[in-house]
Amino acid sequence: MKILVCIKQVPDMESPFRPNGSATWFDESDLAFRMNEYDEYAVEEAVRLKEQLGGEPEITVLSIGPDRVIEAIKKALAIGCDRAVHILEPEVASREPWQIASIIAAYARDKQFDLLFTGMQSQDRGSAQVGVLVAELLGIPSTTTLVGFAWADGVVTATRELEGGVKGKVRLRTPALVTCQLGLNSPRYPTLPNIMKARKKEITTLQAGELSSEKPLTGSAAFRHPEKKGSGVVLEGSVDELVEKVLVILKDKTAVLR
């Protein structure tokens, strides 16, 4: 069995964001990057399936972006992916979902992957499009928002998270693509021996432009802090002052303090 896991590297969401020169996206300088949270579940699920099948499947992890994404790739290798493909794209920030999906599909097209795992969305763009677009471009079935996954005899049984706590169970025959939701599993931390072992794993570098030259279907502008709508107050200062101020406000504005 051949498995592809697609991961993205995103900034730490607690970082202070500033627009880049054209305000199409954020300025990357001073940001710390990490693996997209949703993709951590995708990597973990793929590795669990490999373990379930006695190590037989070969897992390729793929990431598109500048050299910094190799850090996320190495983490995936240390968790248990076998080999990696780094698709070099220095301008990844200006590539929108259709272009990213086209690059991944162009790479995957002749590789006969049985299963593809992606996160359901990225934490930064949050479009929730790329996984489904890849499957559509490859002409294979897909399902999204997995909180449960099982594989047996070429059939995936997936539990999708719907609204209001309800879940939907679907079956699809491989080759297929699934997108992973938070809570699907408990992603493990890479261990030191596995980090060392991962250093020997192969990372192939490809150029994005050689895989796809699709033009963007959307444009981006006015990346900004949202306009403050509410009338809320922001309090800063020493802890003791803050506690006093909060108690005064709560007594004044709410009926909950007796």
Partner 1 sequence: MKLLLVGEYREGRLLDITAELMGFAAAIGGEASLFLVGSAEEVPAFNGTLYLVDAKVYGEYNPEVHKQLLLKAVQEENPDLVVFVHSSYGWDLAPRLAASLKVAQVSEVIGFAGNAYEVGCCNAKMHRNVTPLTSKAVITIQAGAFPALQEGGTPVVKVLSTDVASTTEFVGYEPAEARDVNLAKAEIVVSAGRGIGKKENIEVIRSLAKAFGGELGASRPVVDAGWIDHGHQVGSTGQTVTPKLYVACGISGSIQHLAGMKKSGFILAINKDKDAPIGEVADVLVVADLLQFVPALTAKLS
Ligand X SMILES: Cc1cc2nc3c(=O)[nH]c(=O)nc-3n(C[C@H](O)[C@H](O)[C@H](O)COP(=O)(O)OP(=O)(O)OC[C@H]3O[C@@H](n4cnc5c(N)ncnc54)[C@H](O)[C@@H]3O)c2cc1C
Instruction: Please give the C-alpha separations between residue 256 and each of 107, 243, 247, 252, in angstroms, as whole numbers.
Output: 59, 16, 11, 10
Q: How many CA atoms lie within 13 A of 246 on its CB side?
A: 10
CA distance 164 to 167: 9
Eight-class DSSP state of 189? P
Between 13 and 221, name the residue whose CB sits nearer to ligand X: 13
CB of 13 vs ligand X, minimal distance in Å: 6
Q: Alpha-carbon torsion 98, 77, 54, 107, what sign?
A: positive
Identify residues 6-65 at the interface with partner 1 (CB under 8 A): 11, 13-14, 16-17, 23-26
Are residues 50 and 135 in contact, defined by beta-carbon separation less than 8 angstroms?
A: no
Segment interacting with partner 1 (CB under 8 A) among 1-9, 55-63, 85-93, 154-162: 154-162
Q: Which does 226 bind (CB under 5 to 8 A by kind): ligand X, partner 1, none?
A: partner 1
- Minimum Å gap between C-beta 50 and partner 1 is 22
| Interface positions, 111-140, toward partner 1 (CB under 8 A) | 120-121, 123-129, 132-133, 136-137
Q: Which of 91, 213, 247, 251 binds partner 1 (CB under 8 A)?
A: 247
Minimum distance of partner 1 from residue 79's CB (angstroms): 17
Nearest distance, CB of residue 241 and ligand X, angstroms = 17
Task: Give the Cα separation of 71 and 208 in Å (integer).
Answer: 18
Q: How far apart are CA 254 and CA 256, in angstroms?
A: 6
Looking at beta carbons, which residue is closest to ligand X? Answer: 14
d(CA 191, CA 3): 22
Please choose which of ligand X, partner 1, none residue 234 contacts, taking the beta carbon within 5 to 8 angstroms, the exact cut-off set by kind.
partner 1
Provide, rounded to whole angstroms, the least separation between the CB of residue 183 and ligand X.
Answer: 9
Q: What is the greatest pairwise CA distance in the chain?
A: 69
- Fill in the per-residue mask, 178 to 207: x = in contact with partner 1 (CB under 8 A), - = not in contact: ----xx--x---------------------
Q: What is the C-alpha separation between 181 and 159, in angstroms, rounded?
A: 10
Q: Which of 172, 195, 203, 206 binds partner 1 (CB under 8 A)?
A: 172
The piece of 43-51, 64-72, 203-211, 242-250 that touches partner 1 (CB under 8 A) is 242-250
Please select the residue that binds partner 1; options are 104, 160, 208, 212, rule is CB under 8 A: 160
What residue has token string 């790479």? Answer: 107
Tokens 């202070």 belong to residue: 16
